[in-house]
Structure 1
Amino acid sequence: MGSSSTASPSQAPTTAGTSLAPRAGATLVPGDEEGTTTTSTITTTTVTTLQGPVPCNRTLAGPEGWLVSPEPAGVPYDGSLDCTYSISVYPGYGVELKVENISLAEGETLTVESTGGLEPNLLANESFLLRGQVIRSPANLLTLRFQSPRPPSPGSYHFHYQAYLLSCPFPARPAFGEVSVSSLHPGGDARFRCSTGYQLQGARRLVCRNATRPFWSAREPLCLAACGGVVRNATVGRIVSPGFPGNYSNNLTCHWLLEAPDGHRLHLHFEKVSLAEDDDRLIIRNGNNVEAPPVYDSYEVEYLPIEGLLSTGRHFFVELTTDSSGAAAGMALRYEAFEQGHCYEPFVKYGNFTTSDPRYPVGTTVEFSCDPGYTLEQGSTIIECVDPSDPQWNETEPACRAVCSGELTDTAGVVLSPNWPEAYGKGQDCIWGLHVEEDKRIMLDVRVLRLGSGDMLTFYDGDDLTARILGQYTGARGRFKLYASTADVTVQFQSDPGAGAFAYRQGFVIHFSEVPRNDTCPELPDIANGWKTSSQPELLHGTVVTFHCYPGFQLTGTDLLMCHWDLTWSGDLPSCERVTTCRDPGDAEHSRRVVSNPKFPVGATVQYVCDKGYVLAGAGTLTCHDRAAGGPKWSDRLPKCIPSYDEFYSNRNLDAVAKAVPSGTTLEGTNIAIAVFLPVLVVALLIGGIYLYFSKLQGKPALQLPLAGSHPYDHITVESAFDNPTYETG
């Protein structure tokens, strides 16, 4: 009796907000049938209503796993479906999520967020989630949320996730310094050092720490030029003013003390000195304090000593003072210590040298050379250490400078803007001539081009300014190349004489080299799994080469390449990639189709279902098959859906046809039949008459009909004409 009144799960109420719990203080008597029924109903309601947790909420952990959409609910839910998935991996690792499959209905949303930081970071949503896409979270926590307004038939999705090792960002290289990194992963380190003349401000070594987001143990250090300092046991080095090569500050008083090792002296070389014309001052003293006698004072000396300065003892004292107004680039001084009885180590900026003895005793010779693009000036190429009583070089060291104009005849070289890497001057008019072997031509590689708006750089395809212009440029531009058609190129640079200082940039750097001279583009190689055809045998300017692929392969890239006037091809070489999918077979009229995979890979199927009133003519299912020769192909032709005649000629259709035909149609049909039959009858009678006439002329009976009782096989005898045992025995 109690079981008849107990509600089954399918009968459980599903109205949200309805409470079936007993009121406070109510007593349930075990023998009371009504009380037993109420208790059973409450239990069933707890299972089937939405008051419990949504079944698609999950927390996933571990280095790898799968995330699959929930199956459609057996019992409809009220309201919307809201699924939240949380993926967690070890600190120091991120989460990589790959979309294996996704199919969402209209109105459904799916978002992917990285939740390892202070605030969630949106990585993707349903608009950008495509099959095969990979999403990386920069932290060890990732949240995926799916919302559907129609729970009975929600969309589907399938994701694969795995952990990947996070890393620290690459540390910034300090200005006027270098950085070397052993590893960007946790435990790796980065080491910093400064160029000569600059001091490291900060940690010299940083370590990548493991965390939710790995980080460096400290901020990247800086390389700064200090205002003053003491250099003990000075051997070779450099001192620069604060801010160099930028401007120094106002109201500075900087003192540097240089002290050579015992038994050594110092040589000071002026790399650059640029002071404001007010009360800024540079003093170099031959001693170790401010009271030592000066050997250089910018107030009293108009020109820098090309040969530099020599100390009589172990010390130099350098003093730089600036006032409250004006500023300039300051100074850069290079120092070298050398033994008594020896010459100092020579130095040439933007160049190099070779020596007969690296200790530089008397009799040592040194030969100088400049870096590509620079020219030796103001000195001799070879100098010698002389005078045993007071060793010194017989000539001052030369200087290497980027000059305006020149004739270059090497097979390769560099052209630099005047005064590079510093700014070129106003009103420059420079011409360089480049010449290589007559059977070669010149390739120009313009690596740096930063000019003022009123400045011009022009390339001529020949040995004078009347030749064809290869290119003419102003302003800034990225790296590019030019090819001359001859063995000579003329380069002309002109700077605006009236522009302000702000218009002058770094200039330009041009590398040139000789390349084979011909009038054709280089031969294009054959492509794998394909072939090429040319519009003409010789690859002259204007020749077009067309690329084709063998069956089963498709072309990736452009199929046409043209030989340009500079004897370069118009694009990159294409390739033939194997076709792994069938083409879309198309739609059959009056039907719908079911596709297993919209990309139609090998093995995919397309099933056609005709609309009502039509039947299928042909294969109902097409399968994409791979072929050894040629690309994948469908198993059959596209079917057709034709009208069903049983349906068409049903009573209802016949009645409809009868009603649709007007009464006058019968008479019109009879007239048409008579008009067709009469001509046929006349022709038949005419042929019959001609036959009877000729039969009488030949004496033959007009018409011979077989007897009614004769058999068509009477003329065949018992003996068969076939000499075949099989038939004889039969």
Structure 2
Amino acid sequence: MQFIPVHSFRLPHMDFSARACTSSAHPQTFTNANCLCRSLLAAGPLQASRRRHPDPSGLLAGVFFTFHTFHLESGHDYLLITENGSFTQPLRQLTGSRLPAPISAGLYGNFTAQVRFISDFSMSYEGFNITFSEYDLEPCEEPEVPAYSIRKGLQFGVGDTLTFSCFPGYRLEGTARITCLGGRRRLWSSPLPRCVAECGNSVTGTQGTLLSPNFPVNYNNNHECIYSIQTQPGKGIQLKARAFELSEGDVLKVYDGTNNSARLLGVFSRSEMLGVTLNSTSSSLWLDFVTDAENTSKGFELQFSSFELIRCEDPGTPQFGYKVHDGGHFAGSSVSFNCDPGYSLRGSEELLCLSGERRTWDRPLPTCVAECGGTIKGEASGQVLSPGYPAPYEHNLNCIWTIEADAGCTIGLHFLVFDTEEVHDVLRIWDGPVESGVLLKELSGPALPRDLHSTFNSVVLQFSTDFFTSKQGFAIQFSGLCLPSSSPSLFVLLPDTNLPSSTLEPFIFPFM
């Protein structure tokens, strides 16, 4: 197919109000060779140096086509007119010999029109004679501002946009942005949105508004609407009513928390909440609005704001313990604790800061104590301490500790501190259970013992004291010693060896 360009120009840079566009060789018959002809016609505010000045109102210009003659081979030769640059869906597709009605183009914000003439290889006719001129594009009408909304935008011409947002407490229903479209009759791209007060809402922030359904129009019967407010951790919520008018039997319940199982702050009907200020003791409020089948009324407009909560005092840290987690000491937060090796936690490992006017923890601070005896299983390492360590132990004790390692492992003992009443306060260490095991060592006095090693996967420590003198006691570090299962060796751990105290390595005898 042969392509023959015919026109390529823009109206804004030409000093005329009407021009002509004709088919090739018009008024003679155009050639019957395959051809495709394009024209670009554009309209808009003329520059100040041209014939007319831009309209101060911002009006723009479109392209208006008038047909004087038109004769093409029907169904084979076409004239296409579009205004968006695409000929797949043209504004008009013309063929045949009927004179077309005038066409307005450039209507949808780009203010241009494109013309394409296509002919095939067969019959050829007179063609066409078209004049085109500019015409003013009228603006869209100024739209109303929907109730309870704010409109941004002051221009209403083709392509101009307006945006809408709602007053606090209302939800925008519809499109937030509309655009003025082209066309002889100017229209906005979407219907105006509206702002509605819904049944229930969930809001997050430091301030805001809650509205009853349809406010300020009457709410409906037989409704249950749930509202929740969440502010920043460590802050409370203050709630006041700017308007409050409920019918008899319709109630608003306010809870100090995240659901209706939290503490009830109040139940309100009629105008009972006017002049009332509610303060949460946590960072959440839960509101339940219930209406019956009888009368309705205007409803409510509630405003909330956040404030700094009074916190629980720092609970401190147990002696010989530490904090695992500290949530900040405000209502609903928690602090958890654990103990140093060798100590056991007495009390609750977690404290919860309670809601209420007076901030308190739900339990006392736990303590970490060195217990008289206990069972330790599966620990790779740890400590065994005399009761009350580092304070002196008590009289008349009989404490038994059992340390059990994984199967195939043995246990090494390293003495950090040792001081008992010699002969009278005795620590006995058994290799395995007391009933069937071997006594590794019997210890007393102030001398620091050497390291000990078991041959079984458990050891038992038995500490007995009399009624007289007490000393500081002992601190013993234990560790499990495990041989890889693939190693063809045999542990033989000898009690009371002369190994240096810095090592816990066992003797290993390979199989022969």
Q: Same fold (TM over 0.5)?
A: no
1 or 2, which has the higher helix percentage? 1
- Structure with the larger RCO, 1 or 2 (CA within 8 Å, 6+ apart): 2
Higher strand proportion (structure 1 or 2): 2
TM norm structure 2? 0.36
